[in-house]
Amino acid sequence: MTSPPAAPRPRWWHGEGARALLWLSPWIAGVSVFFVYPLLSTVYFSFHRYDMYTLEFAGLDNYRYLLRDPRVGVSARNTLWLVAVMVPATVLFSLALAQLVVRLKAGAGLLRTVFYLPSLVPMTAGTITFVFLLNPGTGPVDHLLSLAGVRGPDWFGDPDWSKPSLTLLSLWGCGQLMVIFLAALLDVPRHLYEAAAIDGAGAWRQFRSVTLPTIAPVLMFALVTNVIYALQYFSQAMVASRVASGSTDSPGSSFSPGYPEESLLTLPQWLFQVGFRDYSMGYACVLALLLFAVSMIFTLVLLRQFRRAEEAS
């Protein structure tokens, strides 16, 4: 007796889930190789001493050293400055710039281009240019200040002025953020402003009760991503320190990162120095985990924002 032929069951590889798996497989491989594996490996190395030749178990020694390492505190304070001053200054300046461009009746396109262009200048080129512009004494900025009877500071040579100097560089390069805000401002429905104007709201009141609530998600997103970028702050500080101190990265040359006086030292730079110049890979991994933990906090904030935005749409 033969049973009647069963209806062909849908095979598992015909489902969208299986097809998604196929399409995502290169990326899954990428995440495994360049995200998951190195993260686990970093944890492993953090319990070892490793100079690329000999590997020995070190227990918690690297973690103990973290608590005694004076540069960690210095880096944390510098980063805190960047998060508390440079990030808000850059975000607010970009927003103000976008507001200005929105209000322009003539030449808005041209001025938008002018404000946007510096953000495309290669980071090394921009940083070197600012070290030149702010060169103590002979630089154009100090020269112009002296014409006004002001004696300029030492900028990149003065530990109190090095971070403000980098902030100027960051304001100059804020074009990307400005364009994002510009798009957000143009998305605010016009009739809301008209309604507010009829109710007698002035410019500031309109900004507070119409503009700000509408662009709040974009503003929050910009703040959080820029905080995370500040935690990674590396290249501008590194190049500024190198160029202002006149050091090279040639073999055998000594370079104390964070010049002047470690005022530009950040955790990523210290990690780079420890791991890839002094070859203390184990301790570098402890620094990496610290960086990971701090940036993960802000990434989780960002992920919550995304989930909310997805649910809203």
Partner 1 sequence: MSARRRRVLLWVATHAFAVALALMFLAPVAFMALTALMTDEQALTSDLWPRSWNWANFAEVFDRSLLLRWAGNTLLYAALGTLFTVVSSVPVAYALARFRFRGRRTAFLVVIAAMMLPPQVVAVPIYLVWARLGLTDSLWPLILPMLLGDAFSIFLLRQFLVTIPRDYTDAAKVDGCSDLRTLVRVVLPMARPAVAAVALFQFFYCWNDYYGPLLYAGVQQDHLTLSLGLATFKAFHSVQWNLTMAATLLVTAPVIVLFFLAQRVFIEGVTLTGVKG
Verify binding: residue 184, partner 1, rule CB under 8 A: yes
CA angle, 71 as apex, 65 and 75 as ends, to 5°? Answer: 125
Indicate the residue among 34 and 189 with the shorter CB distance to partner 1: 34
Applying the rule CB under 8 A, the residues between 266 and 305 that interact with partner 1 are 267-268, 271-272, 275-276, 281, 284-285, 288-289, 291-292, 295, 298-299, 302-303, 305
Applying the rule CB under 8 A, the residues between 119 and 178 that interact with partner 1 are 120-126, 128-130, 132-133, 135, 137-140, 142-143, 146, 172, 176
Verify binding: residue 3, partner 1, rule CB under 8 A: no
Indicate the residue among 4 and 122 with the shorter CB distance to partner 1: 122
> Could you tell me if 71 and 271 are in contact, meaning their C-beta atoms sit under 8 angstroms apart?
no
> Please, which residues have CB within 8 angstroms of residue 33's CB and are 6 or more apart in sequence?
none
Identify the sign of the CA torsion 97, 103, 104, 109: positive
Indicate the residue among 2 and 42 with the shorter CB distance to partner 1: 42
Indicate the residue among 56 and 249 with the shorter CB distance to partner 1: 249
Applying the rule CB under 8 A, the residues between 80 and 109 that interact with partner 1 are 97, 100-101, 103-107
- Token couple for 182: 């510009």
Indicate the residue among 2 and 53 with the shorter CB distance to partner 1: 53
Q: Dihedral through CA 42, CA 45, CA 47, CA 53, nearest 10?
A: -160
CB of 4 to partner 1, least distance (A): 30
Among 41, 150, 189, 194, binds partner 1 (CB under 8 A): 41
Indicate the residue among 4 and 200 with the shorter CB distance to partner 1: 200
CB of 313 to partner 1, least distance (A): 7
CA distances from 258 to 13, 70, 72, 287 (A): 55, 13, 12, 16
Verify binding: residue 54, partner 1, rule CB under 8 A: no
CB of 158 to partner 1, least distance (A): 18
C-alpha span between 192 and 196 (Å, rounded):
6
Applying the rule CB under 8 A, the residues between 194 and 253 that interact with partner 1 are 216-218, 221-222, 225, 228, 231-232, 234-235, 238-239, 242-243, 246-251
Q: What are phi and psi of 253, to 5 degrees?
A: -80, 140
Indicate the residue among 1 and 312 with the shorter CB distance to partner 1: 312
C-alpha span between 246 and 256 (Å, rounded):
11
Q: What are phi and psi of 50, to 5 degrees?
A: -150, 125
Indicate the residue among 5 and 248 with the shorter CB distance to partner 1: 248
Number of residues that bind partner 1 (CB under 8 A): 112
Among 60, 150, 195, 309, binds partner 1 (CB under 8 A): 309
CB of 135 to partner 1, least distance (A): 8
Q: Is 215 exposed, middle or buried, given 0-12, 13-18 or 19+ CB atoms closer than 10 A?
A: buried
- Letters for 244-273 (x = contact with partner 1 by CB under 8 A, - = none) are --xxxxxx---------------xx--xx-
Residue the block writes with tokens 């200040």: 145
Give the side-chain half-sphere CA count within 13 A for 83.
17
C-alpha span between 300 and 19 (Å, rounded):
29
